[in-house]
Amino acid sequence: MYIHQHICISPQQTNGVVDLEAIHPSSAGKLLALEPKLGGVPPGMLRRMSKAVRMGIGAGLPLIKEVNVDGIIIGTANGGMEDCIQFLNQIIDYEEGLLTPANFVQSTPNAIAGQLSLITKNRAYNATHVHNGLAFENALIDAKMSLAEKPDTQYLVGGIDEISSYNYNIDQLAGWYDSTKSNEDLYTSTAPGTIAGEGAAMFVINNNAAAALGRIDAIEAFQSMDQEQVEARFKNFLSTYNTDINHTLFISGENGDSRFLPGYTSCELAIGSSIPVVRFKHLTGEYPTSSSFALWLACQALAEQSLPAHFYKNEHNLTQIDRVILYNQYQGLQHSFILVSR
Protein backbone atom coordinates (compact mmCIF):
# COMPACT_ATOMS: atom_id res chain seq x y z
CA MET A 1 0.00 0.00 0.00
CA TYR A 2 1.13 3.49 -0.87
CA ILE A 3 1.00 6.83 0.90
CA HIS A 4 -0.17 9.63 -1.34
CA GLN A 5 -0.81 12.67 0.77
CA HIS A 6 -0.19 13.56 4.35
CA ILE A 7 -0.64 16.34 6.85
CA CYS A 8 1.19 16.46 10.13
CA ILE A 9 0.26 18.66 13.08
CA SER A 10 2.90 18.56 15.78
CA PRO A 11 4.71 20.79 18.28
CA GLN A 12 7.07 21.71 15.40
CA GLN A 13 6.71 23.43 12.04
CA THR A 14 5.44 20.38 10.15
CA ASN A 15 2.16 21.64 8.76
CA GLY A 16 2.26 23.83 5.66
CA VAL A 17 5.83 25.05 5.13
CA VAL A 18 7.94 22.38 6.78
CA ASP A 19 10.93 23.54 8.81
CA LEU A 20 12.67 20.76 10.69
CA GLU A 21 15.85 22.76 11.41
CA ALA A 22 14.53 25.01 14.17
CA ILE A 23 13.14 23.12 17.15
CA HIS A 24 10.55 24.61 19.47
CA PRO A 25 11.51 23.99 23.09
CA SER A 26 9.40 22.02 25.54
CA SER A 27 8.00 23.74 28.59
CA ALA A 28 7.43 22.11 31.98
CA GLY A 29 8.03 18.72 30.42
CA LYS A 30 5.45 19.14 27.69
CA LEU A 31 5.53 19.80 23.97
CA LEU A 32 2.22 21.27 22.81
CA ALA A 33 1.09 20.94 19.21
CA LEU A 34 0.78 24.06 17.05
CA GLU A 35 -2.82 24.24 15.97
CA PRO A 36 -3.76 25.47 12.53
CA LYS A 37 -6.82 27.60 11.85
CA LEU A 38 -9.63 25.27 10.91
CA GLY A 39 -11.40 25.99 7.65
CA GLY A 40 -14.65 24.43 6.49
CA VAL A 41 -15.91 23.50 9.96
CA PRO A 42 -19.41 24.72 10.88
CA PRO A 43 -19.08 27.08 13.90
CA GLY A 44 -21.73 25.05 15.71
CA MET A 45 -19.42 22.04 15.65
CA LEU A 46 -16.19 23.90 16.27
CA ARG A 47 -17.31 25.24 19.64
CA ARG A 48 -17.63 21.75 21.08
CA MET A 49 -14.37 20.33 19.80
CA SER A 50 -11.58 19.32 22.13
CA LYS A 51 -7.99 19.83 21.05
CA ALA A 52 -7.74 16.18 19.97
CA VAL A 53 -10.75 16.60 17.71
CA ARG A 54 -9.49 19.94 16.39
CA MET A 55 -6.10 18.41 15.56
CA GLY A 56 -7.79 15.43 13.92
CA ILE A 57 -10.02 17.67 11.84
CA GLY A 58 -7.13 20.03 11.07
CA ALA A 59 -5.00 17.20 9.70
CA GLY A 60 -7.77 15.09 8.17
CA LEU A 61 -10.29 17.45 6.67
CA PRO A 62 -8.03 19.14 4.09
CA LEU A 63 -7.11 15.68 2.78
CA ILE A 64 -10.68 14.49 2.25
CA LYS A 65 -12.49 17.71 1.44
CA GLU A 66 -12.01 17.25 -2.26
CA VAL A 67 -10.95 13.62 -2.47
CA ASN A 68 -13.47 10.92 -1.72
CA VAL A 69 -12.22 8.18 0.59
CA ASP A 70 -13.73 4.74 1.10
CA GLY A 71 -13.10 4.76 4.82
CA ILE A 72 -11.88 6.88 7.72
CA ILE A 73 -9.62 4.87 9.99
CA ILE A 74 -8.32 6.55 13.13
CA GLY A 75 -5.91 5.48 15.84
CA THR A 76 -6.17 7.41 19.10
CA ALA A 77 -5.48 6.10 22.58
CA ASN A 78 -7.55 8.69 24.35
CA GLY A 79 -9.56 10.76 21.91
CA GLY A 80 -11.07 13.68 23.80
CA MET A 81 -9.51 13.05 27.20
CA GLU A 82 -9.99 16.63 28.33
CA ASP A 83 -13.76 16.37 27.71
CA CYS A 84 -13.80 13.09 29.53
CA ILE A 85 -12.23 14.62 32.61
CA GLN A 86 -14.41 17.72 32.45
CA PHE A 87 -17.45 15.47 32.57
CA LEU A 88 -15.85 13.44 35.36
CA ASN A 89 -15.33 16.65 37.32
CA GLN A 90 -18.97 17.61 36.82
CA ILE A 91 -20.06 14.23 38.20
CA ILE A 92 -18.09 14.77 41.38
CA ASP A 93 -18.55 18.54 41.73
CA TYR A 94 -22.32 18.40 41.26
CA GLU A 95 -22.63 15.11 43.14
CA GLU A 96 -24.20 13.32 40.18
CA GLY A 97 -26.87 16.00 39.88
CA LEU A 98 -28.07 17.68 36.74
CA LEU A 99 -25.12 17.64 34.32
CA THR A 100 -24.51 19.04 30.87
CA PRO A 101 -24.09 16.24 28.32
CA ALA A 102 -21.90 17.91 25.65
CA ASN A 103 -18.61 16.82 27.30
CA PHE A 104 -19.94 13.28 27.61
CA VAL A 105 -20.88 13.06 23.94
CA GLN A 106 -17.52 14.54 22.88
CA SER A 107 -15.51 12.32 25.20
CA THR A 108 -15.93 9.20 23.09
CA PRO A 109 -12.68 8.54 21.19
CA ASN A 110 -14.62 8.00 17.97
CA ALA A 111 -15.67 11.66 17.99
CA ILE A 112 -12.71 12.36 15.66
CA ALA A 113 -13.65 9.80 12.99
CA GLY A 114 -17.32 10.61 13.53
CA GLN A 115 -16.91 14.36 13.05
CA LEU A 116 -14.75 13.87 9.96
CA SER A 117 -17.50 11.74 8.47
CA LEU A 118 -20.19 14.17 9.58
CA ILE A 119 -18.53 17.20 7.99
CA THR A 120 -17.81 15.44 4.71
CA LYS A 121 -21.04 13.36 4.73
CA ASN A 122 -18.88 10.27 4.33
CA ARG A 123 -21.00 7.21 5.11
CA ALA A 124 -18.30 4.67 4.31
CA TYR A 125 -16.31 2.47 6.72
CA ASN A 126 -15.49 4.31 9.94
CA ALA A 127 -13.18 2.88 12.57
CA THR A 128 -11.49 4.03 15.76
CA HIS A 129 -8.67 1.95 17.20
CA VAL A 130 -7.77 2.89 20.76
CA HIS A 131 -5.20 0.33 21.82
CA ASN A 132 -2.67 2.79 23.29
CA GLY A 133 0.75 2.37 21.66
CA LEU A 134 -0.70 0.10 18.96
CA ALA A 135 -3.72 2.24 18.02
CA PHE A 136 -2.12 3.78 14.92
CA GLU A 137 -0.51 0.50 13.89
CA ASN A 138 -3.92 -1.18 13.97
CA ALA A 139 -5.35 1.63 11.85
CA LEU A 140 -2.65 0.88 9.26
CA ILE A 141 -3.35 -2.85 9.40
CA ASP A 142 -7.07 -2.10 8.99
CA ALA A 143 -6.29 -0.05 5.87
CA LYS A 144 -4.03 -2.79 4.54
CA MET A 145 -6.84 -5.35 4.86
CA SER A 146 -9.35 -2.95 3.32
CA LEU A 147 -7.07 -2.50 0.30
CA ALA A 148 -6.67 -6.27 -0.06
CA GLU A 149 -10.45 -6.70 0.09
CA LYS A 150 -11.21 -3.88 -2.35
CA PRO A 151 -8.06 -2.96 -4.31
CA ASP A 152 -9.49 0.11 -6.08
CA THR A 153 -10.29 2.05 -2.95
CA GLN A 154 -8.49 4.56 -0.76
CA TYR A 155 -8.53 5.43 2.92
CA LEU A 156 -7.81 8.23 5.32
CA VAL A 157 -5.60 6.80 8.06
CA GLY A 158 -4.44 8.83 11.03
CA GLY A 159 -2.98 8.88 14.51
CA ILE A 160 -3.98 11.53 17.06
CA ASP A 161 -3.50 12.15 20.75
CA GLU A 162 -3.65 15.19 22.99
CA ILE A 163 -2.02 16.00 26.31
CA SER A 164 -4.74 16.64 28.83
CA SER A 165 -3.72 18.14 32.12
CA TYR A 166 -5.40 15.36 34.07
CA ASN A 167 -4.17 12.51 31.97
CA TYR A 168 -0.70 14.01 32.26
CA ASN A 169 -1.13 13.98 36.02
CA ILE A 170 -2.08 10.30 36.10
CA ASP A 171 0.78 9.29 33.79
CA GLN A 172 3.20 11.36 35.79
CA LEU A 173 2.10 9.71 39.03
CA ALA A 174 2.66 6.38 37.29
CA GLY A 175 6.23 7.45 36.52
CA TRP A 176 6.00 7.79 32.74
CA TYR A 177 6.71 11.52 32.69
CA ASP A 178 9.33 13.67 34.36
CA SER A 179 8.39 17.35 34.22
CA THR A 180 11.99 18.43 34.91
CA LYS A 181 13.17 16.97 31.60
CA SER A 182 13.28 19.00 28.41
CA ASN A 183 13.68 18.27 24.73
CA GLU A 184 17.06 20.00 24.61
CA ASP A 185 18.91 17.24 26.41
CA LEU A 186 16.35 14.48 26.23
CA TYR A 187 18.68 11.68 25.17
CA THR A 188 21.48 12.33 27.66
CA SER A 189 19.25 11.58 30.64
CA THR A 190 20.06 8.56 32.77
CA ALA A 191 16.79 8.71 34.72
CA PRO A 192 13.39 7.20 34.08
CA GLY A 193 10.56 9.28 32.65
CA THR A 194 10.20 11.37 29.51
CA ILE A 195 8.45 14.48 28.21
CA ALA A 196 4.82 14.49 27.09
CA GLY A 197 3.72 15.32 23.59
CA GLU A 198 0.81 15.39 21.22
CA GLY A 199 -0.05 15.65 17.57
CA ALA A 200 -1.99 14.36 14.60
CA ALA A 201 -0.63 12.85 11.39
CA MET A 202 -2.99 11.77 8.63
CA PHE A 203 -2.37 9.91 5.39
CA VAL A 204 -4.30 9.09 2.24
CA ILE A 205 -3.44 5.50 1.40
CA ASN A 206 -4.23 3.43 -1.71
CA ASN A 207 -2.72 0.85 -4.04
CA ASN A 208 -1.37 3.22 -6.71
CA ALA A 209 2.40 3.14 -7.03
CA ALA A 210 2.56 6.15 -9.37
CA ALA A 211 3.63 9.39 -7.69
CA ALA A 212 3.44 7.83 -4.22
CA LEU A 213 5.28 9.40 -1.28
CA GLY A 214 6.17 6.02 0.12
CA ARG A 215 5.23 2.36 0.20
CA ILE A 216 4.40 0.55 3.44
CA ASP A 217 5.89 -2.92 3.05
CA ALA A 218 5.23 -4.41 6.46
CA ILE A 219 3.74 -3.71 9.89
CA GLU A 220 4.13 -5.84 12.98
CA ALA A 221 2.56 -4.96 16.32
CA PHE A 222 2.41 -6.91 19.57
CA GLN A 223 2.75 -6.73 23.34
CA SER A 224 5.62 -8.10 25.34
CA MET A 225 7.50 -7.23 28.52
CA ASP A 226 10.40 -9.49 27.54
CA GLN A 227 13.17 -7.57 25.80
CA GLU A 228 14.85 -10.70 24.45
CA GLN A 229 11.60 -11.72 22.82
CA VAL A 230 11.24 -8.26 21.26
CA GLU A 231 14.77 -8.48 19.86
CA ALA A 232 14.12 -11.98 18.47
CA ARG A 233 10.95 -10.81 16.79
CA PHE A 234 12.72 -7.81 15.36
CA LYS A 235 15.42 -10.06 13.87
CA ASN A 236 12.70 -12.30 12.49
CA PHE A 237 10.95 -9.26 11.00
CA LEU A 238 14.18 -8.21 9.27
CA SER A 239 14.78 -11.66 7.80
CA THR A 240 11.13 -12.21 6.81
CA TYR A 241 11.11 -9.06 4.75
CA ASN A 242 14.66 -9.71 3.60
CA THR A 243 15.59 -6.17 4.39
CA ASP A 244 18.59 -4.80 2.58
CA ILE A 245 20.32 -2.44 5.00
CA ASN A 246 22.14 -0.42 2.37
CA HIS A 247 20.59 3.03 1.90
CA THR A 248 18.46 2.33 4.93
CA LEU A 249 17.49 4.58 7.82
CA PHE A 250 16.41 3.34 11.24
CA ILE A 251 13.89 5.56 13.02
CA SER A 252 13.93 4.84 16.71
CA GLY A 253 11.26 5.82 19.23
CA GLU A 254 13.94 6.44 21.89
CA ASN A 255 12.44 8.88 24.39
CA GLY A 256 15.05 9.58 27.05
CA ASP A 257 13.54 7.17 29.57
CA SER A 258 16.55 5.23 30.84
CA ARG A 259 14.48 2.09 31.31
CA PHE A 260 13.82 1.72 27.61
CA LEU A 261 17.18 2.67 26.15
CA PRO A 262 18.58 -0.91 26.20
CA GLY A 263 15.61 -2.12 24.15
CA TYR A 264 16.11 0.47 21.45
CA THR A 265 19.86 -0.12 21.41
CA SER A 266 19.45 -3.87 21.03
CA CYS A 267 17.27 -3.35 17.95
CA GLU A 268 19.81 -0.91 16.46
CA LEU A 269 22.53 -3.51 16.94
CA ALA A 270 20.30 -6.22 15.50
CA ILE A 271 20.36 -4.36 12.19
CA GLY A 272 24.07 -3.57 12.39
CA SER A 273 26.16 -1.05 14.27
CA SER A 274 26.68 1.03 11.13
CA ILE A 275 22.99 1.70 10.57
CA PRO A 276 22.15 5.42 10.65
CA VAL A 277 19.79 5.97 13.59
CA VAL A 278 17.28 8.80 13.63
CA ARG A 279 15.33 9.89 16.73
CA PHE A 280 12.28 12.13 16.80
CA LYS A 281 10.83 12.45 20.28
CA HIS A 282 12.78 15.65 20.95
CA LEU A 283 10.38 17.13 18.37
CA THR A 284 7.15 15.49 19.50
CA GLY A 285 7.44 14.30 23.07
CA GLU A 286 5.97 10.93 23.96
CA TYR A 287 2.38 9.97 23.18
CA PRO A 288 0.70 6.69 22.30
CA THR A 289 0.26 7.35 18.58
CA SER A 290 3.63 9.02 18.02
CA SER A 291 4.46 6.35 15.42
CA SER A 292 2.14 8.29 13.09
CA PHE A 293 4.62 11.18 13.30
CA ALA A 294 7.46 8.72 12.68
CA LEU A 295 5.73 7.50 9.52
CA TRP A 296 5.34 11.08 8.35
CA LEU A 297 9.05 11.65 9.08
CA ALA A 298 9.91 8.53 7.08
CA CYS A 299 8.04 9.97 4.08
CA GLN A 300 9.87 13.24 4.62
CA ALA A 301 13.23 11.47 4.61
CA LEU A 302 12.37 9.53 1.45
CA ALA A 303 11.24 12.70 -0.31
CA GLU A 304 14.12 14.95 0.76
CA GLN A 305 16.77 12.19 0.80
CA SER A 306 18.18 13.74 3.96
CA LEU A 307 17.23 14.99 7.39
CA PRO A 308 18.76 17.74 9.54
CA ALA A 309 21.74 16.71 11.64
CA HIS A 310 19.96 16.95 15.01
CA PHE A 311 17.92 13.85 14.17
CA TYR A 312 20.96 11.56 13.95
CA LYS A 313 22.16 9.59 16.92
CA ASN A 314 25.40 8.50 15.28
CA GLU A 315 27.91 9.37 12.61
CA HIS A 316 26.72 8.40 9.17
CA ASN A 317 27.57 8.80 5.50
CA LEU A 318 24.13 8.20 4.11
CA THR A 319 23.75 9.74 0.67
CA GLN A 320 20.71 7.89 -0.49
CA ILE A 321 17.61 6.78 1.44
CA ASP A 322 15.67 3.92 -0.15
CA ARG A 323 13.94 2.50 2.88
CA VAL A 324 13.16 3.25 6.49
CA ILE A 325 12.69 0.83 9.35
CA LEU A 326 10.67 2.14 12.32
CA TYR A 327 10.75 0.70 15.80
CA ASN A 328 8.63 2.27 18.49
CA GLN A 329 7.53 1.02 21.87
CA TYR A 330 5.11 2.45 24.38
CA GLN A 331 5.50 2.11 28.14
CA GLY A 332 7.65 -0.96 27.76
CA LEU A 333 4.67 -3.09 26.75
CA GLN A 334 3.62 -2.30 23.21
CA HIS A 335 6.02 -2.66 20.31
CA SER A 336 5.75 -2.04 16.60
CA PHE A 337 7.96 -2.44 13.53
CA ILE A 338 7.09 -0.72 10.27
CA LEU A 339 9.00 -0.99 7.00
CA VAL A 340 8.61 1.85 4.49
CA SER A 341 10.33 2.21 1.14
CA ARG A 342 10.19 4.50 -1.85
Query: Per CB under 8 A, which of residues 233..272 are in contact with other proteins?
Result: 233
Assign residue 78 a region (left: φ > 0; alpha: ψ between -120 and 50; beta: otherwise): alpha
- Per the CB < 8 A criterion, the answer to whether 53 and 195 are in contact is no
Our CB check for other proteins shows the closer of 104 and 312 to be 104
Q: Which 140-199 positions form the footprint of other proteins (CB under 8 A)? A: 141-142, 144-145, 148-149, 166-167, 169-171, 173-174
Examine residue 37 and tell whether it contacts other proteins (CB under 8 A).
no
Beta strands in 45-91 (DSSP E): 71-75
**How many whole angstroms separate alpha carbon 165 and alpha carbon 193?**
17
Query: Which residue from 32, 85, 295, 325 is in contact with other proteins, where contact means CB under 8 A?
Result: 85
**Closer Cβ to other proteins, 223 or 266, answer by number:** 223
Residue 293 contacts residue 8 (beta carbons within 8 Å)? yes
Window contacting other proteins (CB under 8 A); options: 120-128, 274-282, 300-308, 315-323: 120-128
CA nearest to 244, candidates 202, 223, 272: 272
Residue 274's contacts (CB-CB under 8 Å, 6 or more residues apart) are none
- Nearer to other proteins by C-beta: 113 or 297? 113
Q: Is 47 in the site for other proteins (CB under 8 A)?
A: yes
With respect to other proteins, which residue has the nearer C-beta, 20 or 45? 45
For the four alpha carbons of 55, 59, 62 and 64, in that order, the dihedral sign comes to: negative
Is 124 a binding residue for other proteins by CB under 8 A? The answer is yes
- Beta-carbon contacts of 286 under 8 Å, excluding residues fewer than 6 positions away, are 176, 177, 194, 195, 196, 197, 255, 257, 330
Determine contact, residues 202/62, Cβ cutoff 8 Å. Answer: no
Among 17, 22, 92, 211, binds other proteins (CB under 8 A): 92
Among 22, 44, 152, 188, binds other proteins (CB under 8 A): 44
Minimal distance in Å, beta carbon 322 to other proteins?
A: 26
Minimum Å gap between C-beta 174 and other proteins is 4
Other beta carbons within 10 angstroms of residue 160's beta carbon come to 36
- Binding-site string for other proteins from residue 201 to residue 240, where x marks contact by CB under 8 A and - marks none: --------------------xxx-x-------x-------
